[in-house]
Amino acid sequence: MKRFLLIGLLLAVTVAGGAGAWLVGAWLDFRDRPLALPAEGLRVELPPGGNVQGLARDLARAGAIQHPLYLVFLARYEGVDRQLKAGEYAIVPGTTPRQLLARIAAGDVIEYSLTLVEGWNFRQVLEAVGRAEFLRHTLADTDPEGVMARIGHPGEHPEGRFFPDTYRYHKGMTDVAFLERAYRTMARHLEREWAGRDEGLPYESPYEALIMASIVEKETGVPEERPAIAGVFVRRLQRGMLLQTDPTVIYGLGQAFDGNLRRTHLQEDGPYNTYTRPGLPPSPIAMPGLEAIRAALHPAPGKDLYFVARGDGSHAFSASLAEHNRAVARYQLRRGRQAQENGEPNR
């Protein structure tokens, strides 16, 4: 291809004489001379179905090049005119036309990032995805069941199915594609961790381990305590004891929860009330991170069956109810005094 184009150029020089030689020289100078860009660089977008002619016109309008046909000829000469990939590109000062075409042919698009946070629930995930400026939003007014159907998993409960992480995406990616990737990432991590789980755990499926991991995630303020928290819950399940964990009750209250968990809430029966119903709740209550999943599948050994918050994010663990009651009295009394000193309600 390049050989034929060079032959064409030489013929043009022969026919046109000095003018043709000047034209060839100008084109050769163009391909390796930096584009005329502002100090902050330039962003260009090649739409789906776009071509080098449209790209050249956009660059000319932006003042980056003077002769659009030079870029068209260069793309054909380099053999990339049919390889340019749609997307948004950042052009930095010093970029030559040849370098620009190589980047667009390689699909080196601008990437943005969105972080899904450990412990978020599905509603918070959808809100974050809906706020992502450069995603293409197609899920507006779609209910959770519809979202799961759109990503290819109809009938599955969405809670806990999406792995918390920072994901990079390009402009124009759909919210569906973004969620599909987060779903696949969680499924991959869960499958791998489940394969290496400890023996004798009270789970019948990876999904039950995911439910436990979500509880551990919501109960843990100090990351190092995750295995210990998981150990308490695992032993309670193995002994047929109620889990009695506040985060499941709060999840069951949904939007009705006003930030104050009352005794009446703990007494109101419901599928997520682990004070009134045995075993695990019917679904995860949040997105667990990898360490919470690992804690659920590798709980710390021991005899502890209870824990209470100390008020600094950590917990006091106890093996007997009497010991636990003493810890509750100690730390709840301390929190009550602190709340009173700070003018806060005693919870």
Q: What angle do CA 201, 207, 213 make, to 5 degrees?
A: 65
pLDDT band at 256 (very low <50, low <70, confident <90, very high): confident
Higher pLDDT: 22 or 333? It is: 333
3-state secondary structure of 90: strand
Name the pLDDT band for 257 (thresholds 50, 70, 90).
confident
Higher pLDDT pick, 91 / 343: 91
pLDDT (mean) for 211-234: 96
- pLDDT tens column, 101-125: 999 999 999 999 999 999 999 999 9
pLDDT band at 347 (very low <50, low <70, confident <90, very high): very low
Q: Which of 67, 56, 104 is nearest to 82 (CA)?
A: 104
pLDDT attached to residue 22: 55
- Each residue of 168-185: pLDDT tens digit? 999 999 999 999 999 999
Do residues 315 and 231 make contact, with C-beta atoms less than 8 angstroms apart? no
The sign of the CA dihedral 85, 86, 89, 95 is positive
pLDDT of residue 10 exceeding 90, the answer is: no
List the Cα angle 268/273/279 in 5-degree steps: 140
The structure's pTM equals: 0.83
Please name each of the domains of the chain with its CATH number.
2-106 (3.30.1490.480), 111-191 (no CATH), 303-347 (3.30.160.60)
Question: Is the pLDDT at 7 greater than 60, yes or no?
Answer: no
Query: What value does the mean pLDDT take over residues 319-333?
Result: 87
Length of the chain: 347
Cα 15 from chain centroid (whole Å): 60
Whether pLDDT at 72 is above 50 = yes
pLDDT at 161 over 90: yes
What is the reported pLDDT for 344? Answer: 35
